[in-house]
Structure 1
Amino acid sequence: MTRESEPKATRSGDSERFSITLIPAALQALAKLMGVTGLSRADAINRSVQVYGFLAEQMDSGKEVLLRDKDGTMERVHIV
């Protein structure tokens, strides 16, 4: 049984079209992401949502997000 609040795409596995308005900071981040990865706008947004979902689940289970520089220096990432 599915919850009414679940998006249709989650229940059926089908894709779904959205119309969203991005704030200027999100537009800049999207442009940088597309430049670095060569992804299309839709692919960059799709992957971003998937990565954010994964990170949110991991943090919800008590894990931390860490970045390690080439020299081994570690930095904790705070996502709010």
Structure 2
Amino acid sequence: MPGTASSPQRRASERYSVTFVPPAVQAIEELTDNTGLSKADVINRAVQIYAYLEAQKRLGAGLLVRGPDGNAERLYIV
């Protein structure tokens, strides 16, 4: 059943050519250094997290980030 809610259709991998701004390049480098993941894995994870956050935002959910001191800060994505 392609494309049903219980069984989403999986697409084949796609290759993109993108240009990243310097802050994104730095973030990718830091993430690859700190995690040992490849650039492709870091970017794939980032896109999936962003899609999840956007879906939650559409539902009216918010995101709180709790620091090591226990204080929570609401994260806004505009």
User: What TM bracket, shorter-length normalisation?
Assistant: 0.7 to 0.9
Distance change in 2, residues 1:69/1:12 (3 Å): closer
Q: Give the aligned length.
A: 72
Match of 1:73 in 2: 71
Match of 2:53 in 1: 55
More helix by share: 1
TM-score (normalised: structure 2): 0.80
5 Å matches for 1:27-66? 27-66=25-64
Provide the C-alpha distance between the structure 2 equivalents of 1:50 and 1:77, rounded to a whole number of angstroms. 18
Residue type of the alignment partner of 2:67: D
Structure 1 runs (4+) greater than 6 angstroms displaced: none
How big is the alpha-carbon RMSD for the aligned residues of Structure 1 and Structure 2? 1.8
Superposed CA offset, 1:14-65 (max 9, x none):
1100000001111011111112211100000001000110011101110011
Stretches of structure 1 lacking an aligned partner (at least 5 in a row):
3-9
Is 44-53 or 69-78 further displaced after alignment? 69-78
Distance change in 2, residues 1:12/1:73 (3 Å): closer
2:49 aligned counterpart, secondary structure: helix
Residue type of the alignment partner of 1:72: G
Residue type of the alignment partner of 2:66: R
